Amino acid sequence: MITLRNVNKYFYRGEAREVHALRNINLTIKEGEFSVVSGPSGCGKTTLLNAIGVLDSISEGEIWLEDREIAQLSAAEKTQIRLNDMGFVFQAYNLVPVLNVEENIGFIMRLQGYTQEAIKERVLDVAQMLQIDNKLDAMPNLLSGGQQQRVAVARAVASKPKIILADEPTANLDSTNSMALMEMMKELNTKENVTILFSSHDDYVIQNARRVILLNDGELVS
């Protein structure tokens, strides 16, 4: 589903402070996988996820989403890829502050042009699955961290993307909420066959993943 070929990423290339963040990454992520990118801080986990999510450019190599090379697309095309094919869950939740929970969850579907009825039905389904259906009218600033993260997951899942990229989704959560979120993600992976790629150094997350991709100093270890 996603294939990375000889991906290299440099920061400040050509300068004295050059950082080689990703080194010759060759990786394939298959449909329906539940994987986690792990490694010590600064090993390139977030950079790898951002590269796969075409949020960040790469310096060398290719990234294929199914049969389409996506790393060299224009900014507008990358935006379309992010909108239609990918779901994102960020460490800082990143909900739209002026939209309530229901609107946040349905936001991407709205942009994709789904009807109001379809959005409402899907939002309710996902919200029930993530146990936030009683918070649909609430504004994000009135939710706890765990609830906000569940809304962020619901937003990522609702539009049924090909892959969900979650960058340290449990970093700001306590252990109870982290466990609950992981359970829900596993359930989503099973029920909806959503491909999920985490980045995390949380042991609980790593233990629950079906595949662990280990990075060290920008290199793929396993």
C-beta closer to other proteins: residue 42 or 210 = 42
User: What are the DSSP calls for 96-133, one per residue?
Assistant: -TTS-HHHHHHHHHHHHT--HHHHHHHHHHHHHHTT-G
Where in 62-91 is the site for other proteins (CB under 8 A)?
75-76, 79-84, 86, 88, 90-91
Among residues 7, 33, 38, 167, which is the contact residue for other proteins, using CB under 8 A? 167
- Rounded to an integer, what distance in angstroms lies between the CA atom of residue 54 and that of residue 56? 5
Element holding 197 (H helix, E strand):
strand 195-199
| Residues found in the chain | 222
How many residues bind to other proteins according to rule CB under 8 A? 35
Q: Least Å distance between CB 2 and other proteins?
A: 17
135 forms part of the interface with other proteins (CB under 8 A): no
What is the DSSP secondary structure assignment for residue 42, as one 8-state letter? T
Q: Is the Cβ of residue 4 or residue 86 nearer to other proteins in the bound state? A: 86
Residues facing residue 215 across a β-bridge = 220
Q: Between β-strands 195-199 and 34-38, what pairing exists: parallel, antiparallel or unpaired?
A: parallel
**Using CA of residue 30, residue 80, residue 62, residue 198, what is the dihedral sign?**
negative
Identify which of residues 116 and 207 has a Cβ nearer to other proteins in the complex: 116
By CB under 8 A, is residue 50 in contact with other proteins? Answer: yes
Helices 101-112 & 75-85 angle (0-180, nearest 10) = 120
Residue closer to other proteins, measured from CB, 99 or 212: 99
56 binds other proteins (CB under 8 A): yes
Q: What angle do CA 175, 211, 147 make, to 5 degrees?
A: 30
Residues in 91-130 that interact with other proteins by CB under 8 A: 91-92, 94-99, 103, 107-108, 110-114
Q: What is the DSSP letter of 43?
A: S
Shortest Å, Cβ 128 to other proteins: 22
What does the per-residue mask of binding to other proteins show for 5-44, with x meaning CB under 8 A?
----------------------------------------
- State the CB neighbour count (10 A cutoff) for residue 93: 22
Binding site for other proteins (CB under 8 A): 46, 50, 53, 55-56, 75-76, 79-84, 86, 88, 90-92, 94-99, 103, 107-108, 110-114, 155, 167-168
